[in-house]
Amino acid sequence: MKTTVVLGLLLVAILAAAPAAWADRAEPAPATPAPDRYLIQPGDLLVVSVWKEQDLQSEVLVLPDGGLAFPLVGDFVARGKSIQQLRTEITERLKPYVPDPVVTVAVKQVGGNRIYVLGKVNRPGEFPLSQPVDVMQALSLAGGTTAYAAVNDIVILRRENGIQQTMRFHYAEVERGKDLAQNVLLRSGDTVVVP
């Protein structure tokens, strides 16, 4: 009986120590990458407000040239900036007029960030880009390809610095989990063409 009790206590001690012993051997959890930040585009409707300043609260439309105007701040370029970058710039420009300004910037309506899917898809058209979307997800938004689509000849059109660029996309390879690098995240203004 005494041996059974001792063995039982020894077993309890071993089991209690096991998690600590295995903790050193456990692999660390993979770091979750930070999601891509939303970048302001022409056509976006923003709400900008300064705490305790009633006259410094308004909805602002980002103009086609990417600029916007705000009282005391004046005109400046918002296109391509994140919400945090915009908040920081407005705060810095307000400091000569408002002591310690607390600025809030929010996107009320996404109007500028859009992608386009054309060709042999079930629902061609333009789609708002409110979060990062890759080529496969864009095809899904368009209802998938039709039976007659040349899925291995898909092209992504992108304009950078005024120059049109093309990228090839082979659906069958990505579907099989190969050459996944071609399943790029789309940018505002990109067009996916399914012949």
Question: Residues 97-133: pLDDT tens digits?
Answer: 999 999 999 988 887 788 999 999 999 999 988 778 9
Which 8-state DSSP code applies to residue 69?
A: E
Cβ-contact 165, 157 below 8 angstroms: yes
Amino acid type, 74: G
End-to-end Cα, the chain, rounded Å: 81
Cβ-contact 142, 123 below 8 angstroms: yes
In our burial notation (b when 16+ CB lie closer than 10 A, e otherwise), range 147-173 reads eebebeebebeeeeeeeeeeeebbbee
For residue 141 the two structure tokens come to 């938004």
Cβ-contact 139, 170 below 8 angstroms: no
Cα angle: 37, vertex 190, 163; to 5 degrees: 110
Cβ-contact 39, 130 below 8 angstroms: no
| Domains delineated in the chain | 45-109 (3.30.1950.10), 114-194 (3.10.560.10)
Per-residue pLDDT of the chain (195 residues; tens, 9 = 90+): 555 554 454 444 555 554 444 444 444 443 333 445 778 888 889 999 999 998 999 999 999 888 999 999 999 999 889 999 999 999 999 999 999 999 999 988 887 788 999 999 999 999 988 778 999 999 999 999 999 999 999 999 998 888 999 999 999 999 999 999 999 999 888 999 999
Q: How far apart are the C-alpha atoms of 103 and 132, rounded to whole Å?
A: 26
Cβ-contact 25, 19 below 8 angstroms: no
- SS3 state of residue 114: strand
Amino acid type, 57: Q
Q: How far apart are the C-alpha atoms of 3 and 137, rounded to whole Å?
A: 64
